[in-house]
């Protein structure tokens, strides 16, 4: 089935949420980007079927003293006594947060013959937020064909699902496997010998226009994905309780408590991705109590 692809290039966002889970901080907002596409589809009355994500740049807000310390924000106005610190009745209590600023290009996929009004897309982007952050700038949106991407986006990194690497070794649990897969390259235990010698250091994840090669979109051979930078991020949720009507639920929808499902995501340069199909993230309910993002069409 032929699909329609809307390119929203170079979205610059500031103050976005970097806390992917209560125990995890990063700047790979896969869940937020896919739900952003879902919200856009509802605004256009044209349901979206997925989102492909190109990373250009990101900066975590914080300082490095031995380990990273995220910037914290404190309210300036008292609301009620519930906001006071338990140790200082004159100070607001602190809510731990982590934020970042970044730049992404999103390719939002719609069904066949979707009628996309660019003026309506602009109206949505004017008020929308991405991962809770303010959108301060973006380039001109347009409907494209997948083969036109190399003309529209010259550099960047696809965010690619690598759950295929989640295989437990003897004596490991799933968290051990995740930490091993997302460790820096020099610390990984199972690098394949055929992988390209690409650095996994975050400092080398740069979006350099000068290195552009216009042949990346027409690679004839499919090499294995390189050993590049990987991170863990939230890719779904598992319900802990059945959905039920609860006081205070957003817009009156049924509410359920849930735990995040965390998996590995790889940054792959556009030029090294080869002739693989567009890495579109799709949402699904594989079970009644599991909501999951994946790239079912991706060929590793």
Sign of CA dihedral 136, 141, 147, 148: negative
Does a structural domain hold residue 187? no
Does a structural domain hold residue 61? yes
Residues with Cβ within 8 Å of 212's Cβ and at least 6 positions away in sequence, in order, are: 154, 155
Which DSSP symbol is given to 21? E
| H or E element, residue 13 | strand 4-17
**pLDDT digits over 194-231, tens only?**
433 333 333 345 544 433 344 334 444 567 788 888 99
Residues with Cβ within 8 Å of 138's Cβ and at least 6 positions away in sequence, in order, are: 8, 9, 10, 11, 12, 125
Does a structural domain hold residue 299? no
pLDDT in tens, the chain (300 residues): 788 999 999 999 999 999 999 899 999 999 999 999 999 999 999 999 999 999 999 999 999 888 888 888 766 555 666 666 667 776 666 778 899 999 999 999 998 767 888 889 999 999 999 999 999 999 999 998 888 887 888 889 999 999 988 888 888 888 888 888 888 766 664 443 343 333 333 334 554 443 334 433 444 456 778 888 899 999 999 999 999 999 888 888 999 999 999 999 999 999 888 888 899 999 999 999 999 999 998 887
Tokens describing residue 101: 């600023």
Residues 47, 41 contacting (CB under 8 angstroms)? yes
- For the purposes of burial, counting CB atoms within 10 Å of the CB of 100, is it exposed (0-12), middle (13-18) or buried (19 or more)? buried
Range(s) of the domain holding residue 151: 4-71+97-165+198-233+266-282
What pLDDT, on a 0 to 100 scale, did the predictor assign at position 226? 81
Does a structural domain hold residue 245? no
Does a structural domain hold residue 208? yes
Place of tokens 């910037």: 71
Does a structural domain hold residue 36? yes
Which DSSP symbol is given to 92? B
Does a structural domain hold residue 293? no
Q: How many domains does the chain have?
A: 1
- Cα(160)–Cα(264) distance, integer angstroms: 9
């Amino acid at each position: 089935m032929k699909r329609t692809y809307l390119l929203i290039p170079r979205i610059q966002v500031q103050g976005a949420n970097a806390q992917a889970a209560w125990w995890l901080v990063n700047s790979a907002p896969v869940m937020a980007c896919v739900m952003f596409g879902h919200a856009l589809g509802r605004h256009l009355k044209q349901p979206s079927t997925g989102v492909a994500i190109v990373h250009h740049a990101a900066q975590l807000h914080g300082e490095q003293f031995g380990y990273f310390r995220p910037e914290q924000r404190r309210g300036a106005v008292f609301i009620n006594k519930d906001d006071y610190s338990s140790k200082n009745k004159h100070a607001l209590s602190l809510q731990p947060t982590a934020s970042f600023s970044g730049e992404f290009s999103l390719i939002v996929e719609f069904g066949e013959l979707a009628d996309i009004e660019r003026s309506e897309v602009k109206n949505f982007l004017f008020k929308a937020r991405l991962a809770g952050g303010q959108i301060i700038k973006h380039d001109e949106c347009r409907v494209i064909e997948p083969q036109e991407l190399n003309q529209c986006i010259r550099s960047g990194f696809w965010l690619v699902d690598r759950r295929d690497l989640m295989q437990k070794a003897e004596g490991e649990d799933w968290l051990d496997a995740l930490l091993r897969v997302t460790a820096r390259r020099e610390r990984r235990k199972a690098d394949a010998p055929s992988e390209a010698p690409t650095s996994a250091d975050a400092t080398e994840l740069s979006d350099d226009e000068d290195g552009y090669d216009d042949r990346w979109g027409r690679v004839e051979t499919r090499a294995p994905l390189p050993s590049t930078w990987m991170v863990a991020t939230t890719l779904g949720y598992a319900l802990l309780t059945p959905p039920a009507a609860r006081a205070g639920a957003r817009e009156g929808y049924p509410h359920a408590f849930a735990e995040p499902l965390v998996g590995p995501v790889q940054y792959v340069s556009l030029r090294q991705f080869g002739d693989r199909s567009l890495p579109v993230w799709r949402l699904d309910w594989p079970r009644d109590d599991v909501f999951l993002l994946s790239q079912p069409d991706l060929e590793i």
